[in-house]
């Protein structure tokens, strides 16, 4: 295992230490692994909390800040954070208007956030939750009942974060989250496995001449393996199942071409070019885009594609200012 | 070779096509491989041109925009752009106040930018140049006489770009560039080789239990190889030669912990934590920082450290608004 780490068991805390030192605008609790804004938002606004296993950076901690999340709860690598920590984050950021939990659909995350919401309710905090389940690759998977939650989480956190920032009610914010989730789909692929520090070896073996189509963000099996193919063909294999699942023709879209952590930008832009061309042929208008590493899988090489069929409100909220380590514009 | 590409010979143009589609605020010439701002800066301001071989993204094309570069010239992967193209870029962005060329110290780049400057002079354009040579790892190298130009280029482009944007004269901008270059140092390391698409195999072999200290950004040999070490020890090996070469004690510094392209953010933040702690022990105050992939080496895993001993003007210009795909704040 080749990694820039000390001991595998210290990776999370030491990485969070670096985050704290690099970003004085964030407050990082090295005991609970909760990241919040150093300056909380105003009283009376809805707060947004997300979290899950680590190893997907910048998601979620890198999306804490004005216009996006109020708190992120970082579990150990690929491991759900415990309910008490999600509850602690929820309590810390509630400004009297309730809290939205954004949860990727993995069994552990869903259970632990649910329990945290119940604990928060006992403290008199109103919590609503959105379970993101945008991955068209597989139905049930190793870690989920139903579809996995992947790339759409980034877009949803941005849009919903902007809605909370402008003062929308918890019920409106939750409705918006449900709408975004209903209108977004993702599909990923891998050229290589990732290596979990504590395991010390690749999660799966992928021969030098093969790729895995439909991979999850933890190295879970995808749809199938096949021979390495040109970028154009890979783009087709990511896009086809998305467009088969949701009709985006004639609609404006927000598109993210995301790297899995070890894919250089020169390849991501090349893939984006292929995807953009094929979407145009399919009659989809890309109104906004993101190209880069936003929801990763440690050191996995590969990419994922997310397409969100956007309405005017989503586009307006997308353009609203955001000031986080991972996404920043308008400020 | 596992890459998200079509044919190796099309990588650059196809990646630039993606850049053009993703960034309507840039103008990308697919013939000359020159990237400029879609909206040029005002007449009478100094323009900044940089460039070099591709494979280091987001450098340089990703740093074109208000507050930073006016144009970037993209050579083929790890190959200098030809003088006529650098000249074309220089002509395209000159606003009557002269042009600064920012050149990383590699023999091909230096020669070609020099020739381009002479060609531009014949067109009546005043050009000054800064040769960035911040790499303390080796003196002469495979591709250079003298030190290589590496990470400091990113910091210099930001600071000098801000000076040009606020209307400083060419002579002042060039002086500032020289000052930044004199006060900055870098050192890199690799866990793995990179693979040039046209070569189809890793540039060098690095056994599973070894790392290369002092690596360049093209996989050029570094100072030495040794057994993989903990992050803390790697940080020490990057920092020590920098601090041996320039006295930063008691000074404010701008520090970049940069990924080589295939290193996930969780590891980069961990490394930053180590570096920040050791710099503090050395009496250096980190005033600003960057953690992420800014000057890469295709799909190489590893990192580099850049330390700039900053004065008040550099800090002020660092904080000035910048609006590029790769760096963005204040707007």
Predicted confidence (pLDDT) per residue in B261-306, tens digit: 999 999 999 999 999 999 999 999 999 999 999 999 999 999 999 9
DSSP state of B64: B
When pLDDT is cut at 50, 70 and 90, the band that residue A139 belongs to is confident
**What residue ranges of chain B have pLDDT lower than 70?**
141-142
Q: Span A243-267, mean pLDDT?
A: 96
> Alpha-carbon distance B21 to A35, whole Å?
35
Nearest to B6 among A20, A232, A298 (CB): A232
Nearest to B18 among A5, A270, A328 (CB): A270
Pick from B307, B316, B297: which is nearest to B249 by CA? B307
> How sure is the predictor about A144, in pLDDT bands with cuts at 50, 70 and 90?
confident
Q: What is the pLDDT of residue A269?
A: 98
The answer for residues whose C-beta is within 8 angstroms of residue A31's C-beta and 6 or more apart is: none
CA atoms of A225 and A212, how far apart (whole Å) = 4
Q: How confident is the model at residue A145 (pLDDT cuts 50, 70, 90)?
A: confident
A210 bridge partner residues: A227
Q: Within an 8 Å CB–CB cutoff, is residue B24 touching chain A?
A: no
- Residue B331: per-residue pLDDT: 85
pTM of the model as a whole: 0.97
DSSP B326: S
Active site residue A56: yes
pLDDT tier for residue A221 given thresholds of 50, 70 and 90: confident
HEC profile of chain A? CCCCCCCHHHHHHHHHHHHHHHCCCEEEECCCCEEEECCCCCCCCCEEEEEEEECCCCCCHHHECCCCECEEEEEEECCCCCHHHHHHHHHHHCCCCCEEEEEECCHHHHHHHHHHHHHHHHCCCCEEEEEECCECCCCCECCECCCCCCCHHHHHHHHHHHHHHCCCCHHHHHHHHHHHHHHEEEEEEECCCCECCCCCCECCCCCCCEEEECCCCCCCCCCEEEECCCHHHHHHHHHHHHHHHCCCCCCEEEEEEEECECCCHHHHHHHHHHHHHHHHHCCCEEEEEEEECCCCCCCECEEEEEEEECCHHHHHHHHCCEECCCCEECC
Residue labelled with tokens 């030669």:
B241
From B279's Cα to the closest Cα of chain A, the distance in A is: 12
Per-residue pLDDT, A315:
98
Regarding beta strands A328-329 and A322-323, do their DSSP bridges make them parallel or antiparallel, or are they unpaired? antiparallel
Using alpha carbons, select from B41, B319, B19 the residue that is nearest to residue B158: B319
Is B56 among the catalytic positions? yes
Of B62, B269, B330, the CB nearest to A15: B269
Rg over CA atoms, chain B:
19
Is the CB of A265 less than 8 angstroms away from the CB of B234?
no
Strands lying side by side in the sheet with A127-132: A26-29, A34-37, A71-77, A47-54, A99-104, A127-132
B107-122 helix and B83-93 helix, angle to the nearest 10 degrees: 50
- Cβ–Cβ gap A4/B293 under 8 Å: no
Report the alpha-carbon distance of residue B318 to residue B161 in Å, rounded: 9
Q: Whole-angstrom Cα distance, residue B78 to residue B146?
A: 18
Give B-chain residues touching A227 at CB under 8 angstroms. Answer: none
Does B265 contact A22 at a Cβ distance shorter than 8 Å?
Answer: no
pLDDT at B220: 85
Residue of A nearest to B211 (CA): A2
Does the CB of B22 have a partner CB in chain A at under 8 Å? yes
Question: For residue A220, is pLDDT > 90?
Answer: no
Residues in chain A within 8 Å Cβ distance of B303: 4
The pLDDT, as a whole number, for residue B107 is: 94
* Per-residue model confidence (pLDDT) at position A98: 98
What is the reported pLDDT for A138? 84
Among the options A23, A56, A60, A101, which is catalytic? A56
- At residue A308, the pLDDT reads 98
Q: Is the interface score ipTM higher than 0.85?
A: yes
pLDDT of residue B181: 98
Of the candidates A38, A64, A29, A59, the residue with the CA atom closest to the CA atom of residue A324: A64
Mutate one of A266, A303, A304, A325 to test the B interface: name it (highest B CB count within 10 A). Answer: A266
């Amino acid at each position: 295992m080749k990694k820039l780490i000390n001991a595998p068991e210290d990776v999370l805390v030491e990485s969070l230490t670096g985050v704290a030192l690099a970003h004085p605008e964030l407050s990082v609790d090295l005991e609970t692994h909760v990241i919040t804004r150093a300056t909380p938002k105003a009283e009376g606004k809805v707060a947004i909390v997300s979290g899950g296993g680590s190893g997907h950076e910048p998601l979620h901690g890198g999306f804490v800040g004005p216009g996006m999340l109020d708190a992120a709860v970082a579990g150990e690598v690929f491991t759900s954070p415990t309910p008490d920590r999600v509850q602690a984050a929820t309590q810390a950021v509630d400004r009297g208007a309730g809290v939205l939990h954004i949860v990727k659909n993995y069994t552990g995350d869903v259970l632990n956030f649910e329990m945290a919401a119940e604990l928060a309710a006992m403290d008199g905090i109103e919590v609503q939750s959105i379970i993101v389940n945008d991955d068209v690759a597989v139905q049930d998977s190793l870690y989920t009942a139903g579809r996995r939650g992947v790339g759409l989480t980034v877009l949803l956190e941005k849009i919903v974060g902007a809605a909370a920032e402008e003062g929308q009610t918890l019920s409106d914010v939750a409705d918006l989250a449900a709408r975004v989730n209903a209108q977004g789909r993702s599909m990923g692929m891998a050229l290589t496995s990732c290596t979990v520090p504590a395991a010390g070896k690749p999660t799966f073996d992928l021969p030098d001449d093969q790729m895995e189509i439909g991979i999850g963000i933890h190295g879970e099996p995808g749809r199938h393996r096949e021979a390495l193919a040109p970028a154009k063909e890979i783009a087709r294999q990511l896009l086809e199942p998305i467009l088969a699942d949701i009709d985006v023709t004639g609609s404006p879209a927000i598109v993210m071409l995301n790297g899995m952590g070890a894919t250089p930008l020169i390849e991501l832009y090349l893939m984006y070019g292929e995807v953009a061309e094929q979407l145009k042929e399919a009659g989809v208008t890309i109104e906004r885009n993101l190209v880069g590493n936003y929801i990763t899988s440690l050191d996995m090489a590969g990419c994922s594609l997310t397409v969100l069929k956007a309405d005017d409100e989503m586009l307006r909220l997308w353009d609203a200012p955001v000031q986080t380590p991972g996404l920043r514009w308008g400020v």
